[in-house]
């Protein structure tokens, strides 16, 4: 154990970024079946779920990704943990490229990041005891065996606020919040440095959500974890993230420091999104009505994908795709901001 | 106060199971005034949706109303024969459900579904019904309503479909609309649009709304009054502003503290330990007592009755019962 713990702490290079995503794209084929294409003389069709996305996640921070449905949040999560292969671009974890050809190096790398999924009812095997569920990563990476492994499982259950005696139970004996704790314990079992959290609290009630978010923060402090937090809930991301990326139709519209994004959003889409959040403080602010809906990602609008809903759109926005430009501490992909119109 | 449009008194809903009877709603009472928007909040299993289903007489058997009364404008509706209830549903009480795809029939065009509903409940001809349907679709914000009315539900996006459902719920000019998580399946930017449409159009027509949601933010922006449910009972009910800014029931206090907001600065969220009890294991006395930071002896044995704490405001908590010592200063400080 001592070995692996020191392995987890060692950091080759002094690079502040733990994960670097460069020009990441992923397309999905959504063509009709071959015969239909031949008869109807239609070409293959593709959906770009993620196009040309670049960002970095710094060691020890929580990077939030927000966006509405179809914005590519979950696809990015799956690409980063290797559940999907990118169509283009690359992902560097601690300086090493993911999906390289060296299987053993990849396996060593694989231990260092984990994922927590949205639905704790689907992500835990209902036929396994909690003990087996949590011990699986320990066994897979050969981190401990026998009595030591059982002690490790008990310790992990204790860490996430469950009782070591829960190890003998099945997932159905737990509530949603407790199941998410089990999922977190399993994610921690391989002693990772980086955890991808894909909507970790969306299936939970608010009071339970608060428990899980607090737990995630405590674990981050205790183990020096780095999080990629994906959520459609802006208040959750605001509460948790140091830096936030706003996705729209598979592209990053804006990356900014958490506080800054909420105090002065630059991209018109970020502004619209923030304006749409119901106001619990009841400040009586009058919201600008939000225009339109998200376009169909199979047939996205030309130029900036946001232009049909954007109050500042001009001809250039309808023709060219804006690239992210450095603005202050963050990046904004908008011609309006670039040209000083907004 | 004027006579309430809807009055629910001591409503009990039970589900018999092999292992005994579960009480999904336990003596719930509330009123909705004409034109009022009443929010119902609570976590899953608190009984929000069941209270909606009970009012429209659509509780899935073997569940049943086991006690209490429901009055709609002076008429008792909880014991009506199914045929009479069917005429009230749709005509006097409209419904909007969470998932617009399941509340629309995929085999009929929007025009067919809306005109059928109008003609079932109102005495108008086909042409008139169609004109009304177009006007209504236009009002709920469907662009080019005259052309799109002949489309099928799958031709519309999620947000547009929910607009169609709102039009459908309102087409027979009901007095009450029950909206059960109307925006939960939608994205935030669309959610705001739908809430605005629902609120405006009901206000225009003087319809009352019972808005069932787990989202306090939606309640804060939409409702006049709010009822907070916990384990099938109303913990607290009152004007939205009072309940949100100055919650009194310890559960509401915990709930409000646990919601991350866009303006807060606290590092940690307030958390309520544990989770809501399952229906087969509701504790003695106050259902919240095992999780309550201010629990004392009485809470564990006796169920608190709602205590009036102001106009339209009731709290079911022993802390506020008459003859009960006021909470100590230390507790007050913690609450603030």
A207 and B268 in contact by Cβ < 8 A?
A: no
The whole-number average pLDDT for the span B265-274 is 82
A217: enclosing H helix or E strand: helix A206-223
Classify residue A191: in a domain, yes or no: yes
Q: Which two tokens stand for residue A335?
A: 């011609």
d(CA A96, CA B320): 62
Query: A188 and A109, same structural domain?
Result: yes
Least confident of A53-57, A80-84, B268-272: B268-272
d(CA B75, CA B214): 30
Mutate to test the interface with A, among B42, B193, B220, B262 (most CBs of A within 10 A): B262
DSSP-derived letter for residue A323 is: P
The β-bridge partners of B236 are B228, B315
Task: Tell me if chain B has a CB within 8 Å of the CB of A239.
Answer: yes
Q: What is the pLDDT of residue A299?
A: 85
Query: A307 and A222, same structural domain?
Result: no
Query: A26 and A61, same structural domain?
Result: yes
Number of domains composing chain A? 2
B136: enclosing H helix or E strand: helix B126-139
Classify residue A119: in a domain, yes or no: yes
* pLDDT level of residue B324 (50, 70, 90 thresholds): low
Q: Is residue A19 helix, strand or coil? A: strand
DSSP-derived letter for residue B279 is: G
Task: Tell me if chain B has a CB within 8 Å of the CB of A121.
Answer: no
Q: What is chain A's Cα-based Rg?
A: 22
Q: What is the pLDDT of residue A50?
A: 94
pLDDT digits (tens, 9 = 90+) for A69-125: 888 999 999 999 988 999 999 999 998 888 766 778 888 888 999 999 988 888 999
Nearest-by-CA chain A residue for B218: A278
Query: A334 and A219, same structural domain?
Result: no
pLDDT digits (tens, 9 = 90+) for A136-191: 999 999 898 889 999 999 999 999 999 999 999 999 999 888 999 999 999 999 99
Q: What is the pLDDT of residue A30?
A: 86
CB burial readout A209-233, b (16+ within 10 A) else e: bbbbbbbbbebbeebebbbbbbbbb
B209: enclosing H helix or E strand: strand B208-212
Assess whether pLDDT exceeds 70 at residue B178: yes
B220 and A211 in contact by Cβ < 8 A?
A: no
Query: A30 and A128, same structural domain?
Result: yes
Q: What is the pLDDT of residue A202?
A: 87
Residue ranges per domain, chain B? 244-335
Query: A171 and A301, same structural domain?
Result: no
Query: A257 and A173, same structural domain?
Result: no
CATH number at residue A58: 3.40.50.300
Q: Is residue A175 helix, strand or coil? A: coil
Q: 3-state SS of A100-165?
A: CCCHHHHHHHHCCEEEECCCCCCCCCCCCCHHHHHHHHHHHCCCCCHHHHHHHHHHHHHHCCCCHH
The β-bridge partners of A221 are none
Burial of B204 (0-12, 13-18, 19+ CB in 10 A): exposed
Classify residue A17: in a domain, yes or no: yes
Q: What angle do CA B206, B174, B4 make, to 5 degrees?
A: 60
What are the strands, taking DSSP E only, across A205-306? 226-231, 243-248, 251-257
Note whether A124 and A132 are within 8 A (CB). Answer: no
Out of B192, B245, B262, the one facing A238 most closely (by C-beta) is B262
Record the pTM.
0.85
- Chain A residues within 8 A of B267 when measuring between CB atoms: 217
Which residues are CB-contacts of A147 (< 8 A; sequence separation ≥ 6)? none
Between A197 and B100, the more confident residue is A197
Query: A212 and A268, same structural domain?
Result: no
In this structure, what are the phi and psi dihedrals at residue A56, rounded to the nearest 5 degrees? -130, 150
Query: A204 and A306, same structural domain?
Result: no
Query: A267 and A227, same structural domain?
Result: no
pLDDT digits (tens, 9 = 90+) for B306-315: 999 988 899 9
Assess whether pLDDT exceeds 80 at residue A6: no
The whole-number average pLDDT for the span B122-128 is 94
Q: What is the pLDDT of residue B334?
A: 45
Q: Which two tokens stand for residue B289?
A: 């007592």
Query: A76 and A10, same structural domain?
Result: yes
Query: A205 and A189, same structural domain?
Result: yes
Q: What is the pLDDT of residue B7?
A: 96
A276 and B215 in contact by Cβ < 8 A?
A: no
d(CA B195, CA A270): 20
Q: How far is B248 from chain A (nearest CA, A)?
A: 17
B216 and A262 in contact by Cβ < 8 A?
A: no
DSSP string, A58-101: ETT-EEEEE--TTSSHHHHHHHHHTSS--SEEEEEETTEETT-S
The range of the structural domain enclosing residue A73 comes to: 2-241
Asked if the bond preceding B133 is cis, omega within 30° of 0, the reply is no
Classify residue A283: in a domain, yes or no: no
Nearest-by-CA chain B residue for A216: B268
The whole-number average pLDDT for the span B101-105 is 86
């Amino acid at each position: 154990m001592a070995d692996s713990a020191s392995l987890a702490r060692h950091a080759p290079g002094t690079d502040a970024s733990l994960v670097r995503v460069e020009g990441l794209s992923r397309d999905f084929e959504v063509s009709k079946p071959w015969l239909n294409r031949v008869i109807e003389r239609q070409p293959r069709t593709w959906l770009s779920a993620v196009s040309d996305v670049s960002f970095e996640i710094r060691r020890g921070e929580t990077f939030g990704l927000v966006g509405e449905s179809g914005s590519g949040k979950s696809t990015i999560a799956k690409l980063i943990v290797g559940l999907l292969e990118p169509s283009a671009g690359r992902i560097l974890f601690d300086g090493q490229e993911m999906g390289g050809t060296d299987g053993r190096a990849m396996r060593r790398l694989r231990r260092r990041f984990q994922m927590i999924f949205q639905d704790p009812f689907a992500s835990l095997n209902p036929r396994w005891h909690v003990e087996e569920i949590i011990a699986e990563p320990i066994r897979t990476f050969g981190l401990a065996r026998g009595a030591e492994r059982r002690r490790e499982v008990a310790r992990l259950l204790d860490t996430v606020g469950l009782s070591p005696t829960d190890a003998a139970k099945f997932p159905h004996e737990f509530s949603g919040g407790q199941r998410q704790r089990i999922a977190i314990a399993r994610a921690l079992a391989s002693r990772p440095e980086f955890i991808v959290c894909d909507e970790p609290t969306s299936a939970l009630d608010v009071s339970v959500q608060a428990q899980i978010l607090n737990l995630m923060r405590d674990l981050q402090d205790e183990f020096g974890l780095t999080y990629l937090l994906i959520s459609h809930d802006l208040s959750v991301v605001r509460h948790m993230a140091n830096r936030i990326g706003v996705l729209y139709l598979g592209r990053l519209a804006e990356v900014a420091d958490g506080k800054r994004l909420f105090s002065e959003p630059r991209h018109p889409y970020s502004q619209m999104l923030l304006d749409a959040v119901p106001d619990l403080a009841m400040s009586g602010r009058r919201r600008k009505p939000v225009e339109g809906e998200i376009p169909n990602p199979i047939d996205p609008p030309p130029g900036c994908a946001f232009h049909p809903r954007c109050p500042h759109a001009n001809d250039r926005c309808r023709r060219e795709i804006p690239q992210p430009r450095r603005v202050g501490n963050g990046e904004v992909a908008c011609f309006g901001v670039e040209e000083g119109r907004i | 106060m004027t006579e309430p449009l809807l009055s629910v008194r001591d409503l009990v809903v039970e589900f018999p199971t092999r292992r005994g009877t579960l009480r999904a709603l336990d003596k719930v009472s509330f009123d909705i005034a004409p034109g009022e928007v009443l929010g119902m909040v609570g976590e899953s299993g608190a009984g929000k949706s069941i209270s909606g289903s009970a009012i429209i007489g659509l509780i899935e058997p073997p569940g049943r109303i086991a006690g209490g009364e429901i009055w709609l404008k002076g008429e008792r509706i909880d014991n009506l024969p199914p045929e009479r209830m069917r005429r009230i549903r749709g005509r006097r009480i409209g419904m909007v459900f969470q998932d617009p795809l399941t509340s629309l029939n995929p085999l009929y065009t929007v025009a067919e579904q809306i005109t059928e509903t109008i003609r079932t409940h109102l005495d108008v001809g086909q042409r008139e019904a169609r004109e009304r349907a177009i006007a209504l679709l236009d009002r709920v914000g469907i662009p080019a309503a005259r052309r799109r009315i002949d489309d099928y539900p799958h031709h519309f996006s999620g947000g547009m479909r929910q607009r169609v459902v709102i039009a459908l719920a309102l087409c027979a000019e009901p007095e009450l609309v029950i909206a059960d998580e109307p925006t939960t399946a939608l994205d935030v930017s669309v959610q705001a649009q739908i809430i605005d449409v629902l609120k405006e159009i009901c206000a225009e027509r003087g319809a009352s709304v019972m808005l069932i949601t787990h989202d306090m933010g939606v309640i804060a922006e939409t409702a006049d009054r709010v009822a907070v449910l916990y384990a099938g009972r109303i913990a607290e009910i009152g004007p939205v502003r009072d309940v949100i800014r100055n919650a009194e029931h310890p559960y509401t206090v915990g709930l409000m503290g646990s919601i991350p907001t866009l303006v807060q600065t606290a590092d940690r969220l307030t958390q309520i330990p544990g989770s809501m009890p399952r229906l087969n294991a509701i504790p003695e006395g106050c259902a919240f007592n095992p999780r309550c930071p201010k629990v004392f002896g009485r809470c564990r044995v006796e169920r608190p009755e709602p205590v009036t704490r102001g106009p339209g405001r009731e709290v079911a908590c022993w802390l506020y019962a008459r003859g009960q010592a006021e909470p100590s200063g230390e507790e007050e400080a913690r609450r603030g």
